[in-house]
Structure 1
Amino acid sequence: MVTLTKSICWRTVVKSKDINRIGVVIYQKPTSNSCYTERKNNEPPLCSGSNGHSPWYTPLDSCLLLPALSKSGAGNSWPISWPERLNIRSSTSSENSSTWFSQENFDSDTKNWNGLISEVYSSEFAVNWSSIRNVMDMNAGFGGFAASLIDRPLWVMNVVPFDQPDTLPIIFNRGLIGVYHDWCESFNTYPRTYDLLHMSYLLQSLANRCDIIEIAAEIDRILRPGRWFVLQDNIGMIRKMDRVLRSLHYKTAIMRRQFLVARKSFWRPDSTGS
């Protein structure tokens, strides 16, 4: 173990034994790249530029990812303090340099969600926000939906679908929480279900890979009885989901031809299937 930790540049911080005489060792990972570049043997090797950034179904690799450097190149820098970091896109939050990840798109997304929450979600939807404790954003993007709810007494689980742009580093740098997921598979909700599920412009891509009934069943499983599902999408996808949710005895309303607000009932099919 000593040889291995030295080869990956970990520093031994504490080496001791507990009251049961069981050994305890605490290691610290370096914050700069100097140790990696000065190693006599490049073993384990450093990862290439493309290694380590595929979020889903990626085989384990024995290479080392270098720590992200600050602009000065001196090593990792502390993130901007909370809550200022909530509305700032960190320059090191994503290595993708495409225009989709630009500061302009980030700012536009933040402004868009602030406006939608204050002008539409809070005032027009039949949602009792005071009763909501936890929310799941099923297609989180930059995390703008969660950021716009930051002043409310609730928390948001941001989900980045595996086949969408990898924005999870940006979400983390904003001080928010999140995970990757494939919505054609079951989501591990242990130990909780949710008061509100939110899906924005994801249903079309999902429907190309899995059945909309399966998606609705997963939404129904995650959502608490008496709580809400909000879908933002084109009117065609909204009507398809509306029919499925009505068959599950949800109370639904289509708003502005781009929103579906559905409330789950306490209904469950009996033994006859009615």
Structure 2
Amino acid sequence: MAGLHLSSILPNPNRRTLAFIFLTALLCLLSYLLGIYQNSRSSLPSPLPAHRAAADCLLRPLPRPPSSAGADLDFLPHHYAATALPPLPDGDLPPIPFCAHNFTDYCPCQDPTRERRFPMHNLEHRERHCPAPDERVRCRIPRPEGYRTPLPWPASRDRAWFANVPSKRLSIAKAEQNWVRVEGNWLVFPGGGTSFSQGVKWYVDQMAKLFPLKSGEVRTVLDIGCGVASFGGHLLDYNILTMSVAPRDVHEAQVQFALERGLPAMLGVLSVHKLPYPSRSFDMVHCARCLIQWAGFDGLYLLEIDRVLRPGGYWVLSGPPIHWKRLYKGWQRKPQDLQAEQNAIEDLARRLCWKKVSEKDTIAVWRKPTNHLHCSKKSKILKSPPFCEGTDLDFAWYKKIELCITPLPKVEVAEDVAGGSLEKWPRRLNAAPPRITAGSIKGITVKTFYQDNQIWNQRVVHYEAYLSSLKEGKYRNIMDMNAGLGGFAAAMSKYPVWVMNVIPADGTNNTLGIIYERGLIGTYMNWCEAFSTYPRTYDLIHADGLLSMYINKCDIVDILLEMDRILRPEGAVIIRDHVDVVVKTKRVAEQLRWQSRIVHSEKGPFHPEKLLIVDNSIAASAN
């Protein structure tokens, strides 16, 4: 070790760069010593403890080192251990062109021209049907004519620019039902809907009288057939986070309207395959006139609802056939058909061991048992469906729904909650989730969970230095493409944002159940395909180690094109990865005409992990 010096760590070091690094380290040392000195002087106020002063110095964005060419920091791959990457061509790469104007609302895996190839039975044609690699388009999705910067939250919940979601079909068809109306250049959302004749606020307030919505017990909700997500929007007043789901149907822009309003939503449908969420994920599932045959297909869809409901969770059904005796004439349905439909639903709920909590007016509420101790004993008497068999019952990516009950974790006594009880919100966010305390995922312990929280708090502080709009409230819809334990979303909870936590379906650890136990929401995804959303629906996209994961599975260009599709025109991206991957990604970002730069992570200049910061608002302000 006697001959070790900086030149052996950094090949061919530039003298100015070495001097810059030395001076930076010296300043941090002086900051540390000054903190010690001030702490020892009672007469002098100490702005920071010594260790905080040093940490502040190290986390502060480094100024650009002196360079005769005035270029960005040199992050050339030869500085670090190489990652196996395809060679990059020399010179500038040509820009990726824009698609034709009819691609403005293109959803690759929910393309109406492709769905015609698939059977309509069970709405299978409405499911994800992604193009084959040779069918993919390699062009950027154009924005609609007259597109404007979306309103900031919370103003966006009540109105949006019509030019951003120019769907005349939905706004005209649903104007009579008070879903949405056009006023000049605005889309206005009054909070009505098919089932909210007296307004969504009245509807939710009535529901709150039937079971606890204010206690923090209910935090995550799945709204099936969500319309424009007014229900989920109002639940935010109760600190309840709703995953609103609807297919791309004749009212094609429902989910697009929801996301334009700043409300969590994604394209989806109850059909042949399981919903892309883990078992025991939602505290409540809601359906308001979602027109699903709950008792049809041998109860297939209600079995799927049972799978995603956590122990003790609530299922809320409003609209037909509930309260049919009074409303059957308005529904233009025969009373005997409605009675038979409700009887079938009640019977299936009993066979699932659900308990009916309440029925008032058009709202009926059932509750799932907290464990299956008694249910397993009564299943033969009730003629219940059999219990499913398998090792990973959480995994639900392109898996078909089975005609069986997803078993809950075993308990010893009837009072126990299967899988462990959850803290009430907001304590739930940072408490160790039961899936971790039970040791269900190898290598993830309570200690690593709390360490992960600390790491992400530090990282988000570091991000703030590069994206000033975080503090200004510019971002609302955020996606974490490789969410891990949900630490990034938890650290972002101090801002008025919501995060779609995505767990790659082909990743090492299936941690999405942990994320839901924290009171957050998310989905499974294979990033070699397109996400189930419309273009221009996310303000900020975060990708930690994602491109390294997929570098030998599919082309980085296709992944970045998908990010470009779902990113709003003035949106931002944070790509966190090995320097070799980041350098390659920077070249593709230039093809997309993104405003991007490579910077150090909070780990400093000597660590191979770097950040690619994309801030397209810079280009917008320049124009």
Q: Distance in 1 between matches of 2:530 and 2:582?
A: 22
* 1:125-177: CA deviation from partner (whole Å, max 9, x where unpaired): 14421122221111111010111111112221111111122111111111112
Deviation at 1:191, TM superposition (A): 8.5
In structure 1, the residue matched to 2:533 is 189
Q: TM-score, normalised by structure 1?
A: 0.83
SS at match of 1:226: strand
- What is the total number of aligned residue pairs between the two structures? 260
Any gaps of 5 or more consecutive residues in structure 2?
Answer: 1-343, 601-608
- Partners of 1:135 and 1:156 within 8 A in 2: yes
In structure 2, the residue matched to 1:264 is 616
Structure with the higher helix share, 1 or 2: 2
**Counterpart residue identity of residue 397, structure 2:** W
Aligned-residue sequence identity (percent) comes to 35
Q: Distance in 2 between matches of 1:40 and 1:100?
A: 36
**How do residues 8-23 of structure 1 correspond to structure 2 at under 5 angstroms?**
8-13=352-357
148, 165, 174: which is aligned to 2:491? 148
In structure 1, the residue matched to 2:389 is 48
SS at match of 1:100: coil
In structure 2, the residue matched to 1:116 is 459
- Determine if the alignment matches structure 1 residue 62 to structure 2 residue 403: yes
- Distance change (3 Å), C-alpha of 1:189 and 1:51: same
**How do residues 210-229 of structure 1 correspond to structure 2 at under 5 angstroms?**
210-229=554-573
- Distance change (3 Å), C-alpha of 1:16 and 1:231: closer
SS at match of 2:597: strand
Structure with the higher strand share, 1 or 2: 1
404, 407, 415: which is aligned to 1:74? 415
**How do residues 233-248 of structure 1 correspond to structure 2 at under 5 angstroms?**
233-248=577-592
- Distance change (3 Å), C-alpha of 1:234 and 1:54: same
342, 367, 370: which is aligned to 1:28? 367
Q: Distance in 2 between matches of 1:37 and 1:126?
A: 53
Higher deviation after alignment, 39-48 or 254-263: 39-48
Q: Distance in 2 between matches of 1:65 and 1:75?
A: 18
- Determine if the alignment matches structure 1 residue 252 to structure 2 residue 596: yes
- Determine if the alignment matches structure 1 residue 198 to structure 2 residue 537: no
In structure 1, the residue matched to 2:511 is 167
* 1:174-230: CA deviation from partner (whole Å, max 9, x where unpaired): 111211111111112249611110000010222222111111110101111122111
Q: Distance in 1 between matches of 2:492 and 2:388?
A: 38
Is the radius of gyration larger for structure 1 or structure 2? 2
Deviation at 1:231, TM superposition (A): 0.3
Cα root mean square deviation, aligned: 2.8
- Determine if the alignment matches structure 1 residue 158 to structure 2 residue 497: no
- Distance change (3 Å), C-alpha of 1:61 and 1:51: farther
Q: Distance in 1 between matches of 2:538 and 2:360?
A: 43
SS at match of 2:493: coil
- Partners of 1:158 and 1:177 within 8 A in 2: yes
- Distance change (3 Å), C-alpha of 1:10 and 1:99: closer
In structure 1, the residue matched to 2:604 is none
SS at match of 2:596: strand
- Distance change (3 Å), C-alpha of 1:71 and 1:111: farther
In structure 2, the residue matched to 1:272 is none
